[in-house]
Amino acid sequence: MKKLWAPWRMEYIQDSVIPGGKECIFCIGNNSANDRERLILHRGETAFVMMNKYPYNNGHLLIAPYRHIADFNGLTDEEFLEIQQLLGVCIEAMKGCMHPHGFNIGMNLGQVAGAGVEDHIHYHILPRWSGDTNFLPVFGEVKVISEALEATYDKLKEQLVKLMQEAG
């Protein structure tokens, strides 16, 4: 049997099985000093962009309102508009530095729909490439992430800053 070493997964496994007491990962507060460590790429007026710490693919992004809310229809017009605008900017940022062939964009509402954090709504944006699916996830239940989170963060952060400056 061959082994694929992924020691960073232990934190994910422990986080998944240790019940209670955890803060909401999307209630990020106002302190931006540790944004890189927390993988927060952009802070807007009512919503923000962060990378998924346990991504399905390189560049797996999450967009959420600051307000802790589970009801999609409870978003204010301002929150809804900014989230939609951030979706567009994130797509352009990924196109500019990661060159994906397509995207999966979605929101899981409720635990039965796959929401890992069901009390704070958030969108997922996943860049996709031709050939990014192979036998490993299908037969081996293993997904290969081919770039360090920090390297992906730096590329996306630079691209997002550039796009936000161009937008004014």
Residues annotated as part of the active site? 122
Rounded to whole angstroms, the Cα distance separating 135 from 46 reads 41
Cross-strand pairs, 70: none
Question: Locate tokens 């809804």: which residue?
Answer: 80
Rounded to whole angstroms, the Cα distance separating 8 from 10 reads 6
Rounded to whole angstroms, the Cα distance separating 126 from 163 reads 19
Q: How many residues does the chain have?
A: 168
Q: Of 46, 67, 80, 81, which Cα lies nearest the Cα of 120?
A: 67
User: How far is residue 88 from each of residues 55, 97, 143, 165, measured CA to CA in Å?
Assistant: 20, 15, 27, 15
